[in-house]
Structure formats: C-alpha cells, structure tokens
C-alpha cells in the first residue's frame, strides 16, 4: 500500500492510481473477450 496520511486515510493519488489499474485490467479483459468472440465467429463462418 502507499504511505498513509496521519489521519489514517490513503492519499487520493494512490486511490486514483488503483482505480486506473483496475480500469486498464478490465479493459484488457473485456477487449480480449470481444476479440476472442470475433475470431471464433469468423472461424465458424469460414469453416
């Protein structure tokens, strides 16, 4: 975890960075799934 503020809350910057990482993680998962679906559909149509 990042450095804690004196009041015990995590700095806003760390929260934003974590949210960004989750965004890119889910974007890659969803994008990969869509790409896989397109490849599968194309393969089924082509065969």
- What digits encode the pLDDT tens for the residues 23-33? 999 999 999 99
Asked whether residue 46 is domain-assigned, the answer is yes
List the domain range (segments joined by +) for residue 19: 10-47
DSSP letter string, 4-35: PPTTSPPPHHHHHHHHHHHHHHHHHHHHHHHH
Provide the pLDDT for residue 22. Answer: 92
pTM above 0.75, yes or no: no
- What digits encode the pLDDT tens for the residues 4-17? 656 666 667 777 78
Asked whether residue 39 is domain-assigned, the answer is yes
Asked whether residue 31 is domain-assigned, the answer is yes
**Residue 3 pLDDT more than 90?**
no
Asked whether residue 25 is domain-assigned, the answer is yes
* pLDDT top residue among 40 and 7: 40
Asked whether residue 2 is domain-assigned, the answer is no
Total domains in the fold of the chain? 1
CB-based contacts of 22, cutoff 8 Å, min separation 6? none
């Amino acid at each position: 975890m990042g450095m804690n503020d004196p009041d015990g809350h995590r700095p806003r910057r760390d929260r934003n960075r974590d949210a960004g990482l989750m965004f890119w993680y889910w974007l890659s998962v969803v994008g990969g799934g869509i790409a896989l679906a397109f490849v599968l559909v194309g393969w089924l149509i082509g065969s």
